[in-house]
């Protein structure tokens, strides 16, 4: 299916099954050697929260939909963390359009989002409704 692009996406040209662009997130983590020579996690690092993950999902949506629509009042994002991970972990976010609604509440596009580790393990899932 086609991949959505923020500068050309509108309700008419979006179809169920369309892919969102892929977003890869990683933040630089200073290596901290432990006694065995492996890398340890700094005690200052905190796990990714649903708030931070929602920000990642919003960043993904901004690649696929116009910013004014992603920031619109009717746009919603919900995330579920399945496995704890840290901001320094490399994860990729991808998603697809799973529904389109056109009713008295306006035009909306429903998306499902998956967050995977670099090994392909599903770390989190999300749902978004973008108000167009």
Coil/strand/helix, residue 78: strand
Coil/strand/helix, residue 53: helix
Q: Is residue 103 part of a domain?
A: yes
- Chunked into runs of 10 residues, the chain (132 residues) has average pLDDT values of 78 94 77 52 72 95 94 96 86 96 94 94 97 93
Q: Is residue 127 part of a domain?
A: yes
User: Which structural domain range is residue 83 located in?
Assistant: 11-131
pTM to 2 decimals?
Answer: 0.84
Whether 83 and 123 have beta carbons less than 8 Å apart is answered as yes
CATH of the domain at 36: 3.10.129.10
- Give me the number of domains the chain comprises: 1
Number of H helices, E strands in the chain: 2, 7
Q: Is residue 3 part of a domain?
A: no
Whether 20 and 111 have beta carbons less than 8 Å apart is answered as yes
CA–CA separation, 1 vs 65, rounded Å?
16
Q: Is residue 5 part of a domain?
A: no
CA–CA separation, 132 vs 125, rounded Å?
22
Q: Is residue 2 part of a domain?
A: no
């Amino acid at each position: 299916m086609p991949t959505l692009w923020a500068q050309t996406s509108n309700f008419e040209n979006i179809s169920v099954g369309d892919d969102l662009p892929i977003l890869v997130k990683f933040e630089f983590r200073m290596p901290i050697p432990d006694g065995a020579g492996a890398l340890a996690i700094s005690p200052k690092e905190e796990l990714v929260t649903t708030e931070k993950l929602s920000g990642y999902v919003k960043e993904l949506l901004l690649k696929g939909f116009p910013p004014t629509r992603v920031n619109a009042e009717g746009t919603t994002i919900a995330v579920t963390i399945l496995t704890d991970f840290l901001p320094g972990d490399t994860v990729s976010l991808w998603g697809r359009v799973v529904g389109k609604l056109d009713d008295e509440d306006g035009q909306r596009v429903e998306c499902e989002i998956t967050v995977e580790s670099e090994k392909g393990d599903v770390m989190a899932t999300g749902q978004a409704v973008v108000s167009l």
